[in-house]
Amino acid sequence: MTDPYTAPGLAPGLTPGHLGAPVLEPEGLPPGFEPPDPRRLRSGLACCLSVLALAGVLGLAALATFLLWPSDQEKAADFAGSGTGTAQISVVQGATLTQIGQALQKEGVVASVRAFTEAAAKSPAGTRIQPGTYTLRLRMAAVSALNVLLDPANANALTIPEGRRAEQIYAAVDQKLKLAAGTTKGVAGQQVAALGLPESARGNPEGYLFPSTYPVTDETTPLTLLQLMVAQAAKRQASDGVAEAAEAYGRSPYEILTLASLVQGEADNPEDMTKVARVVYNRLAKSMPLQFDSTINYALNRSTLTTTAGDTKLDSPFNSYLHQGLPPTPIANPGRDALQAATHPAEGDWLYFVTVGPGDTRFTDSYEQHQRNVAEFNARQAERSSSPSAGGH
């Protein structure tokens, strides 16, 4: 049986245009007229809605910023006066003013980071805060806290100069922490596994006690100080490209560090350091002994400007007059300039150098010229002392 409501043309009451009825297309359209594309209509509507939504979001963000962000006229939160009580704040090497301000605010010394950084910005010496541990008061005015931090006398810190040997650093730590002589050296030997040294060091911290200024607090121990130095050395060696230089020159990172320690011991300014590093590389390439006085000084645990003929016959693996190549370990703890010289040596064909006088280090690839330079050095030394010198490299 045919359903009268589904048979074609027999749906009663559904005339064209009636609700629910199919819309009949007109049989003809005016010339040049095209009906609008429904998809384009929907796309345009969506675009308009998106623009309106974005404008609303931006408006809300601008309103929130206006309401929540302090105006230029609004003062940063700050305490008044010199404060009460005490607090210790440590400032590490390279800390920014914002980082220092955050530490001060966290400990309740200043009311806000902004008050501290604004006070520092107004001070001609605002960026000259030295590393160290400072004793301040709680609830201090930001400018009062800044004045305490700007006085180096208030910084409790240990400064390790470039080129110090491990033995000298151990003694400096003992003195700073008011410990019996030999305490830090004992800690370095007994707790060597806790220092963070690389395997290549074979338990010897020499070369890995980075020269810098380290904060000292009531909780500081020889171990924590040595750990800070080793960690700083690793950071500096990474940033100065020791591993990359080792690959470029066919050496191990430990050898590059050892070379840097020689540079530190033989030169006293960055320009000469880069040239000394080049002399080392040139001599190693030609299998020439380095003949560095600094290695003999290390073997003899001394620091002198002269080396005698007898010294050059010393039976020691650190005697670079007798043994070719680099010494077995670093001979000091090099600073940043020496590390950069070892990783980025100057270009040159020098094989010899000698410091004839303060600020007068002469480099040459001619042995004859070098001998004349050495003779001049010895003549100057003879004026000060009657002992002859082997001199030169």
Plot region of 217 (φ>0 → left; ψ -120 to 50 → alpha; else → beta): beta
CA–CA gap between residue 293 and residue 291 (Å, rounded): 7
Residue 260 domain-assigned (yes or no):
yes
The Cα 346–Cα 271 span in angstroms is: 8
219 and 105 share one domain = no
User: In the chain, how many domains are there?
Assistant: 3
Does residue 2 lie within any of the structural domains? no
HSE-up of residue 252 (Cα within 13 Å, Cβ side)? 11
Question: Is 42 a domain residue?
Answer: no
Cα separation values, 179 from 156, 164, 172, Å: 16, 20, 10
Task: Check residue 357 and give its pLDDT.
Answer: 86
Torsional sign, CA 12, 17, 19, 20: positive
Run of H or E including 54: helix 38-68
Same domain for 95 and 186? no
Residue 366 and residue 353 share a domain: yes
**Pair of tokens at residue 296:** 């003999």
Residue 63 lies in a domain: no
Task: Supply the pLDDT for residue 60.
Answer: 59
253 in the same domain as 187: no
Q: Are residues 294 and 339 in the same domain?
A: yes
**Euclidean distance between the first and the last CA atom of the chain, given in angstroms as a whole number:** 119
Q: Which pLDDT does position 73 carry in this prediction?
A: 52
Q: How many residues does the chain have?
A: 393
At 84 the three-state DSSP class reads strand
> What is the value of pTM for the model shown?
0.75
* CB-based contacts of 29, cutoff 8 Å, min separation 6: 35
Q: Which domain holds residue 97?
A: 84-154
Statement to judge: residues 221 and 316 lie in one domain: no
Q: List the chain pLDDT tens, one digit each, 393 residues.
A: 433 333 343 333 333 333 333 333 334 444 444 555 545 544 554 444 454 555 555 555 555 554 545 544 578 999 998 899 999 999 998 899 999 999 999 999 999 999 999 999 999 998 999 999 999 999 999 999 999 999 999 999 999 999 999 999 999 999 999 999 999 999 999 999 999 999 999 999 999 999 999 999 999 999 999 999 999 999 999 999 999 999 999 999 999 999 999 999 999 999 999 999 999 999 999 999 999 999 999 999 998 877 889 999 999 999 999 999 999 999 999 999 999 999 999 999 999 999 998 889 999 999 999 999 999 988 988 887 765 555 566
Q: What is the CATH number of the domain that holds 145?
A: 3.30.1490.480
pLDDT of residue 25: 38
Beta carbons of 312 and 297 less than 8 angstroms apart: no
Q: Choose one of 123, 154, 185: the last residue of a domain.
A: 154
